A and B are shown apart, each in its own frame.
Chain A
Amino acid sequence: GDSVTQMEGPVTLSEEAFLTINCTYTATGYPSLFWYVQYPGEGLQLLLKATKADDKGSNKGFEATYRKETTSFHLEKGSVQVSDSAVYFCALSDEVQGAQKLVFGQGTRLTINP
């Protein structure tokens, strides 16, 4: 079945550092790819999405590009802030297969120190 593998955490960085969280996927169809974020005490929020190959999703300074050739969707940000501290989940959904459920990776806890 479909699966998502993301970078093991936790990740600790200093403010203004460059961030990369790796994500790769396995899917039988043509999935849409997502990054979700969970801030402390809150629910999961959609951070960004890409629905087809070579699409770039972006939001709040974060970016990720749908790379079909490497089955990857790595999350990047050029300069992180303390407020970016959260747990980040890579996910996919295969709408072509008619499935509405999301398949998530194991999550990466990110801590940004001032």
Chain B
Amino acid sequence: EAGVTQFPSHSVIEKGQTVTLRCDPISGHDNLYWYRRVMGKEIKFLLHFVKESKQDESGMPNNRFLAERTGGTYSTLKVQPAELEDSGVYFCASSQVGGLSYEQYFGPGTRLTVT
């Protein structure tokens, strides 16, 4: 069974540009989460989808970030326009419906560098 995959693994963009990160969850997992680790600090929750609906988006930093999950399968996280402080590693995780918090399976992350 394939795990959570993320694309790209690394992205380098200039300030002001747009970047779209993609996450493919484990097949059959309705829960999908986005987290971010900035500059070696703690990993912070961004948002949680249940199928295509946003269950909790309390961690989204500002309106430059837009997350979508059309069709309830893969998800994208768009940053527009990117700022220097957006640099970090973006993690995606998925779990089954009714799954407990520790039953989230994580992807390898996308390292975003904004110059």
Contacts and interface: CB of A to CB of B under 8 A. Distances in A.
Interface residues of B, number: 29
- A-side interface mostly: strand
Given A89-B43, A104-B44, A106-B41, 10 more contacts: A43-B106, A43-B108, A44-B43, A91-B43, A100-B56, A100-B95, A101-B56, A102-B35, A102-B101, A102-B102
A63 B115 CA distance: 41
Nearest to A106: B42
Interface of A: 4, 32, 34, 36, 41-46, 49, 89, 91, 93, 95, 99-107
Interface in B1-53: 3-4, 31, 33, 35, 37, 40-45, 48
B109 interface: yes
Contact of A100 (B35, B37, B101): B101
